[in-house]
Structure formats: C-alpha cells, structure tokens
Structure 1
Amino acid sequence: MDKQFETIISYIKSNVSFIFLENYEVYLSELLKIVHKSNVFDDIYYVGNDNNLSKDRYEVLSTDLNDVNYFASQLIKYKEKDNVLIVANGFDHAFSEINNQNEAFIKLLYQIAVENMNSSSKGGEDRRFTILFSGANYTIPREIRDFSIKLKKLYPTIVEINDLISNFKFKHLPTVGFAKQLKNNVLSSNLQGLSDKQIIQTLSLLYLTFGPKLFQPQGRKINKEIEKKVKEIKKQQIEKSDIITIIDVDVDLDNSVKGLNSLRNYIYIQKKAFDYKLNLSTYNISLPKGVLLLGKPGNGKSLSAKAIASTLELPLIKFDISKVLGQYVGQSESKMKETLATIQSMSPCVLWIDEIEKTFSGTNNKDNDVMRKVIGIFLTWMSDENKGVFVVATANNVKDQLPPELTRKGRFDKIFYIDNPNLEAKVEILKLHVNKRIYKIVGTNSNIFNSSSNNKVIDDIYSHLKNKEFSGAEIEHCCNEGVKAAIINNLSIGNEKFENSNFEIEVLKNICEELKVTVPDSNQKNDNFNDLYKKLNKKYSEELEYIDNYANENNRTSDEKQEYSLNEEFTNNLKNIINSNINKEINSFISEKENKDTFENAD
C-alpha cells in the first residue's frame, strides 16, 4: 500500500478539494496516521461511525448530513487561514440519491471548491481545505467533478494479502512473539481474488475452524483441509455477483476426453509454459492467452474447457458476460471492468466463456452502443492487460456473429475446429461411456469389447459408427440408454445382484439398437456438394413427391378439386418450408466447410 498512500498524500498536498476513495476502509486508519504525522493540516475532523478512526486525535462530528453541511459551511467562512481535512466515511448516498438535502450539499461542495481555489493562507501559500470521502461506490456529481479525484481499490496484491494476514495474526494470537513465529502457510495464493474485507472475513471463518493451526507448518492433510475450506468460502464470496462462478473440475484430458489429439498436444505445451512462467518472463515472453473452440454441438467443447483447467492445474472460472449489462448509464462498463479485475486478481486461472457468439451477436447492431463498449473493454483486456488468465471460449459458429477483432492474433493464441469425431475417436468415446457405467457390475477389468462371443454385435456397432455421423453426445446417449435398459431388465427392487451371465451381450445389443435409430441412415458424412445433394435428395424427395401427387388435378373428382383449392395455400406453404429447410442445410454445410478450411482441426 505504500505507493498508493504516496499517491493519495500527493493529491492532498496538491490541494485537491475532494478525494473519493472506494474500498479503502480497511486501510483508512493507517492512511490517516501518515497524514497526521505529515503535519499538512492544522485540524483533522472525522465524520462516520468507525470507532477506530474517531479516537483521540480527531474531532468527531455528527453522522447526520445536515450537521456536516452546517459544519463545512462554517469552516469555509471562519477558518480561512487554517488547513483543514474532513474525513467523511460512508456518504455514498449523498451523491447517489437525488433530494433537496443532497442537492444543497452538492451546491455547498461546489462553493467550497471555488473558494478553495481563490483563498490563501498566511505567507502567500495556498490554503488547504480537503474533504476525503471513503466508501464503497461514489458517483461524483457533474458540478464538482473537475475538483475531484477518485481512486478505487479493487483487489490486494500478494504482498498486501500477506500484510493483512500478518495484521490478523497479531490481533488474534495470544502473544506478538507467537505471531512472529507462525508463517502464512498456503493462505496468500488461495486468498487471491477476494477484496480486503472479504479476506479478513475469510480469515475469521478459518480461524474459527482451525485456530493457530491455520498458520502453523502442517502435514499435507491439514493443508488440504485448509485449502478445501478456503475454496468453499471463496466460492461463496465470489459468486455473490452472479456474473462469475468457480467450477469444480473432475475431468481431465487423459481420461475424460477422447480424440482431439491436436488440441490435447497444444494444451500439454501450454502446461509447461505456466510451469516455467518465471523463466519466460525473464525473456519478455508472455503467457498463453487462450483458445477458441469452434464446432458442432455435442462434441465436447464444454467438457474440453473443464479438462483444460484440470490439465493446467488451474482454477476454472465461468464468466457469463451477458449479466454485466445494467440498466443505468455507465453501469455495464463499470461492472465489466470490475469483473475482469476480479478475474485478473485470481491469475493464473482458466476463464471459460460458453457460447461466446450468443453474447457478442449484438455487436453488429448499430443501436447497441452499450454492448459494443462492453466488448471493447473485453478485447482491450485480452490483448493488452491479460496476465496469466487462459481464456477458453466455445462457439457453435462465428460467421457473421463474432466481431472480427476477436478472432485475430493477439486475442486467442489458437482457434480449433471440433468436428464430429472420426471412427477411432467414436470407438474410444463408446468404450469410455460403456465402461464407466458397467464397471461396478462387471469390475474394472471388463472384457466386454474383447470377448470373442461378442464379436458379431461389436462388428454391427462399429459398422454403425463407421457409416453414420455421430456426435460425442449422441454416442453417450446411446450408451446410457443401452446400459440402463440392461440393468433394469436384470434387477429387481431391493436386489443389486446380477445373476444373468448374458448381461454384457445384452448391453451391447441394446447399444447397437440405439445407434441404429438415434441417427438416421441419411445422415452420412458430407465432404463435398455431391454428397450433400444425395443426402438432401434422399431426405426430402418423398415429402416433395407426396405434395406433388396431392397437387395433381388430373385424377381428381370435382369434390376433390374443390377440396384441393381450399388446401392449395397450405400445400404451397409446406413446400416453401421444406425448401427453406433445404436452404438452411446448404448454408450450414457451406459454413461448416469454411470453418474446416479456415481453422485448425482439433483432432
């Protein structure tokens, strides 16, 4: 805090009329000690309800705004040659609410500022009259903006966190000597991302549970317990905003994600970059900034985001950017900056933004000025300010939906296209989901895919996987349904023992049937427009032929013709809908083809 104190003292000495300090309450007492020792002011007055600040050397004023108003007006009139500091704590409401009392107070402040500029004390020196406002959130009125300075304290550094821990120890431990002996353990890094007040509150909760053990060198077990408790408290503190969420991760790239080998190898390299971050900084090499995962739904983009955090051994934070939008002017931009500051204070970490194209789609609307400003803040942070936050964004499509600035180099290090899995990956995904669901029944060393007695049905399963386009989610669905049906068929209520020796083959047959019906035969892989034509012709020809036959008047009676005339509009609309669906499939094909050609394949 020393440098920040120096900055504040310099503003005071420069005779700034009004200094607004946000979130400095924890440090205010220490700051005023320094101000008092500097002998800059003849008198220091305190307005507020903090007993620690109102002791001894400060004259305490009423907390009522009317009394403050009267007192300030008297000071400006009768103490023209004295240097006076008024410390007003918790007067945010005097500027956020509009009423006669507050308007009169703002007019008085304007008068003070003008007279402060024009008055001088003995010896020809400028007279100092400063009001230091301390609180959580001040909206500075236009009338006094030019006479004011606002400083906002967001999140403490590691050094400041250690100072807060040390102060807490000296206050709560039995003796000073005992406090000096104890270390901060693993607390400092775990408390990153919390405000000063939240840190003090968290330390109190931890001390209630662990006592002096919180600061004593302990074995791995107690350290893990402390770390787990910190995470629980921290999660509750951070999620109050409802904008960011700390996600518990129980998946990893090795065991939970199949295929995506290029993405996997890239993340392993970034893991080394974070491990050697101190060495890299020596050579002015910045840490990786993140990846954009683009592709069809159901193929593991969200799962990969979680697995990336686990592999990098970093906390995962999910960011819902749409929730920063507020109803007041400037509120959205302010919330965006505060949220990014919170995220940055927790670095190194992984930041996950799901379906980013839905959040940013409004930037192309010329009337959506707020969203463009919010996105501008985010883009600036990604390219210039991001230090150690690995951003993982997921999207189904980016064409005409994301601002082009987001996909240029300097924001994301890599953009990976995730297609439906190839045959090898499909087989791995199937085995993963089957074994995960049956291991408690047949044991961890399942022979379900190696038994010769299962060869016929396994071949049928592989044939479906080879000849149809499945997403990872569709394969998981088939496995879940197939195993569920077999379990239900072999269990009775209250009995968890399996007597059926044919359970494994039953599971495989069920899965094979699910694979057969889940994805239609017409859903083949389309690599070119000829394949697309065949697929669409097969998919829609029967519907179009039915409509054409229905519309043919040659073989109709007069009653049928009359009925047809009544339904002509309906049949034409139906035909238009089918044609529209065909166009959508063609456009989707073109878009997917462009993505494949433009971006690196994750497999």
Structure 2
Amino acid sequence: MQGHSTAIPVWAWSLTEGLRRPGDATPQPGTESATGVLAFIAATPEPGLYHLKDFHEAMRDSALVRRHLRDLYVTCADRNKFIVITSPIHDVPEELERSLAYVELRTPDITEITAFVRDETKGHAQPPSDEVIAQLAPALLGLTLEETRYTLRRATAGGAPLTEESRPALLEEKRLLVSRGGVLEFVSTPTNMEAVGGLENMKKWLLERRKLFDLRDSLSKEIVPKGVLMMGIPGCGKSLCVKAISAHFQLPLYRMDMVEVFSGRHGKPETAFADACHQMEDIAPAVLWFDEIEMAVTANESSGEQGRIFAFFLTWMQEKTPGLFVAATANRIDLLPAEMIRKGRFDEVFFVDLPTEEERTEIFRIHLSRRGYDPDALNIPQLMEFTKGWTGAEVEQCVVSAITKAKLADTSVNPQDLLTLAARSVPLSRTMREQINHIRAWAFERAIKATPPKGAER
C-alpha cells in the first residue's frame, strides 16, 4: 500500500474478543470496548489494517465513538493506518457518511455458488457431476454461502446424493429465506396456460417471449423481456395469468406484499420496497408479481412515500437484472401514472375485458373438467344467454355452487342446477356498469386487448 513493500499487520476487533492479530491468544489490553479500540489505534504509531466487526451499533449509540472516528480520519491520513468496518446492515451516522467509502457486498453470483457447491460436495460418497451442479446452482442464487451450506446438507441428509431431484429441497430453503423478510411471498400454486380460458392475444405474446427469455444470456439487455402489465376488470383472470406465466417460464413466483411494505414493520416503506426489489435480483431467475400495483403508485401521489417508491420503481424497471420478469396487475387502472404504462417500462400492457361467449364456454369447460365433470353432458351452450357480462370468477363460482348444492343433496350436478344458479345471479358488470364502462374507455387507446377483437361482447 502506498509504495510499502513490507506487509501491513492486520488486526481484528469484535465486542466479544477485543482486538487481536491472527494467532493471538489474548486481546490487547483495554481494547474490549469500542472506545478502547479506537484509543489503541490512535496511540499506535505503526501502520496497520484494523477490521472492526459489527461496529455500526457503537457508531449509532455513542457520540464519543463518532467523534473518535472523525479524529482518526485526520490522524491516520498518510500513515498507512486503515480502518475497515463491516456490518450486516447499512447504518452509517450522517456525520460520518463523507468520511467512509461504502461498499455493498451482494450475495454470491453463479460462479461463486458453483465453485462452493463443488467444494462442499467433493467429499460425498457420490459427488455430483459438473452437469448436475450447473443445473442446481441457479436454485441457490440469493443465498449466502452459509445458507447454501445448510441447504446442501439438508438436501443430502441421510447420505442421499445430490442429483437433479434435489432441486425442490434447494428451492424450499429459498422460500423460507424470502418468507423471513415479510415483504415477499413465495407463491407455491402455479398453474399452466391450459387453465386460462381465452385471452389468446396475451397467451400468444407470452409464448413468443418465453423463447427470448430463455436466450437472455446471449441477447442484448434491451431485447430480453422485462415484464408485462395486465390491467382490467376484477375477476377476469389476471392473477391466474401471472401464475401461468411462472409455470410457462418454468420459474419460481414471488409476490410483493404492498400492505407489508407500507405497514412500517420493515422500516421506511421506500427502503423496504427497494430492499425487496434488490433481493429479488439476487434470487433471479424468477417472476416477481406486483398485485394491484396501483395501490403502490398512483397518479394523484407525486410526493411522499408513494412518490419515492414510484421514482425508484421506474428506474429499477429500466436497470434490473435480465433474469427477473415482472408481472404486474391493476384493477383501478385510471390511477396509474402515464409514466407507468408507456413503452419501455413494461414490454407490453394488456387490457383484460369481460370474457366473450367463446371464452365463457371455455372457462365453464375448464372448471367442470378440473372437478371431474363432463362438460358435454351439462349443456353449456344454453348457459350463454344467462351469463352475458359474467367474469371468469363468477363462472367458477357458479360451478362451485352447483357442485356444493349437489353434494348436499347427495346427487350429481345436472344442467338445470347450473341454469337455475345462472338465472338468479346478478353479475358485477350489471351492478358496476358505469365503472366498467369507465375502465374500458380509459384503456381503449392505452393498452392491447388480451382477447382478439372478433366476437367481443359489450
């Protein structure tokens, strides 16, 4: 350092062990406290590198410690005396910010994880091949090395070899890691595209973008799909589509809980939001779901917490890692700022309208088949006249109600049961006609219809 050819001694300090050099059996006298170690550094004329562990609490709680550090900043200059402070959290007092160089260490990347898994398993009776390690390493992204070691040992408990079948056990640790944070939720019930009735425009778009997403490592960043925004009428399948995206892309799905972000239990909302977004980048590849995103960023809130979150989100969407696909859903779409829906934030903005007659037929068939009933035996076409303006959720509830009624009567569902329930139901589109017409008018020139225009019902 600074032209010196001789090695500079390295010291390490912690509140439990005081200040020591490697190999020392006892600490230096008087260095058990934070003020004591700073006094020792100031009084020692020789060069040295001093590693102070978890020193953030001492800096935060003691004005004397902060003053000591500011004095050392002056006295250590050009004397080859250096102080390195490590901390699990970013907590630097304001008066010290300009005197410290801040370096954030993220979780290990894929190269580090791969090397660590290889070293950790080389002593196993059946060590995994390089091909197996390459397939499993992405499932460990977002974990620290200690968490990775624990995960590997749990997956191989009882002498089980590490194989491709070990992936669910590795992902379970990641689920637990995310759950501990409280802001992100692991969604363990993905579905497939066949379970989504209609919305052919959006399905086709997603099928095409899957190919580009798989090639993300070999494509320029602006070509790799960033995400999709689905807005429209409640109950028409937006959430189901997000789960289908996860299954189609073969990626884990995580949901951002905005209620938790604004709860204050995780610190300032903008900090909790930013930390969760950065954590998702560490976990990637994955799908991140922002449910009812208009609750987090609204056109009427340009300052305060929501304004700061919105400003961060816009920049983050442009700069985030290519391995993270964002799926956002919105019901009150008129609250979304214009900056949110312009091209470049999301790859595409889709409007999910009430299902057409063909889509309602398909949705009835999906829900009946999934529950073990033959749709062809229940005369679905006669239901179409009574289900105009229904949402997909209302179709599902009609099927569930008919099955429930039949189970209580110890009979099987018949066409008349469905017809009676359909005739008695009042759909959302009738009770909220003005609001739905407003949503349609707002989205007319702002989004692409998720359903092809032919045969659309109004």
Classify the TM-score, shorter chain: 0.7 to 0.9
What does residue range 421-570 of structure 1 map to in structure 2 within 5 Å?
A: 421-439=355-373, 446=374, 449=376, 458=380, 460-465=382-387, 468-490=388-410, 503=412, 506-519=413-426
| 1:83 maps to amino acid | P
Give, in angstroms, the shift of residue 301 of structure 1.
Answer: 0.5
Q: Shift of residue 159 of structure 1?
A: 0.8
User: 2:306 matched to 1:371?
Assistant: yes
SS of the residue corresponding to residue 102 of structure 2 reads: strand
Q: Are the equivalent residues in 2 in contact too, given 1:92–1:135 (CA < 8 A)?
A: yes
Answer whether contact 2:107 2:143 (CA < 8 A) is retained: yes
Match of 2:203 among 257, 264, 281: 264
Deviation sequence 1:122-148 (CA, Å, 0-9, x none) = xxxx21221212221142223332221
**Selected match of 1:198 from 147, 150, 172:** 147
Secondary structure, counterpart of 1:293 in structure 2: strand
Amino acid at match of 2:295: K
Of structures 1 and 2, the larger Rg is shown by 1
User: Equivalents in 2 of 1:181, 1:349: separation in Å?
Assistant: 25
Secondary structure, aligned partner of 1:364: coil
**What TM-score, normalized by structure 2, do the two folds share?**
0.87
Equivalent in the alignment of 2:226: 289
* 2:349 aligned partner, one-letter code: I
Partner of residue 359, structure 1: 296
What's the Cα RMSD here? 3.3
Shift of 1:71: 4.0
Aligned partner of 2:444 in structure 1 is 596
What are the superposed Cα offsets for residues 525-571 of structure 1, whole Å, 9 maximum, x if unpaired?
xxxxxxxxxxxxxx9xxxxxxxxxxxxxxxxxxxxxxxxxxxxxxxx
CA distance in 1 between counterparts of 2:366 and 2:21 reads 67
Q: Aligned residue pairs: how many?
A: 449
- Counterpart of 1:417 (choices 335, 338, 351) is 351
SS at 1:85 equivalent: strand
Letter aligned with residue 187 of structure 2: I
How far apart in 1 are the matches of 2:318 and 2:150?
A: 34
Q: Deviations over 1:169-208 (max 9, x none)?
A: 46xx279xx9798773633111012233322332232343
In 1: Cα distance, 2:247 partner to 2:5 partner: 51
Measured in 2, the distance between the counterparts of 1:427 and 1:62 equals 80
AA of the residue aligned to 1:595: A
1:351 and 1:390 in contact (8 A); partners too:
yes
Q: Which residues in structure 2 correspond to 1:236-275 (within 5 Å)?
A: 236-254=176-194, 256-275=195-214
Specify which structure has the bigger relative contact order, considering alpha-carbon pairs within 8 angstroms and separated by 6 or more residues.
2
Q: Is the 8 A contact 1:44 1:58 kept in 2?
A: no
CA contact (8 A) 1:48 1:63 kept: no
Matched AA of 2:350: F
Please tell me the residue identity of whatever aligns with 1:313.
Q
Distance 1:264 1:236 in 2: 31
Going from structure 1 to structure 2, the CA distance change for 1:104 and 1:327 (only over 3 Å counts) comes to farther
Aligned partner of 2:171 in structure 1 is 231
Answer yes or no: is the 8 Å Cα contact 1:192–1:345 preserved in 2.
yes
CA drift of 1:237 comes to 1.4
Shift of 1:229: 0.9
- Work out the CA distance in 2 between the residues paired with 1:264 and 1:394: 16
SS of match in other structure, 1:245: strand
How much identity, in percent, do the aligned residues show?
A: 24
Identify the residue that residue 84 of structure 2 maps to in structure 1: 132
- The answer as to whether partners of 1:347 and 1:388 remain within 8 angstroms in 2 is yes
Cα pair distance change 1:473/1:67, threshold 3 Å: closer
The whole-number CA distance in structure 2 between the counterparts of 1:130 and 1:416 is: 55
Deviations 1:355-390 (A, max 9, x none): 1111223x6335x42322222111111012342211
Kindly tell me: are residues 333 and 463 of structure 1, through their superposed partners in 2, closer, same or farther at Cα, counting changes over 3 Å?
closer
- Cα deviation digits, residues 501-531 of structure 1 (max 9, x gap): xx4xx521111011001127x967xxxxxxx
Letter aligned with residue 296 of structure 1? I
Contact 1:46 1:59 in 2 (8 A): no
The 3-state SS of whatever aligns with 1:317 is strand
Displacement of 1:64 in angstroms is 8.4
SS in 1 for 2:52: strand
Structure number with the higher helix fraction is 1
Equivalent residues in 2 for 1:300-379 (5 A)? 300-325=237-262, 331-361=268-298, 364-365=300-301, 368-379=303-314
- Note if 1:73 corresponds to 2:39: yes
Q: 1:383 and 2:318 equivalent?
A: yes
* CA–CA separation in structure 2 for the residues paired with 1:330 and 1:146: 24
Does the 8 Å CA contact 2:140/2:148 hold for their aligned counterparts? yes
Q: How far 1:167 moved relative to its partner?
A: 4.0
Query: Is the Cα–Cα contact under 8 Å of residues 85 and 131 in structure 1 kept in the other structure?
Result: yes
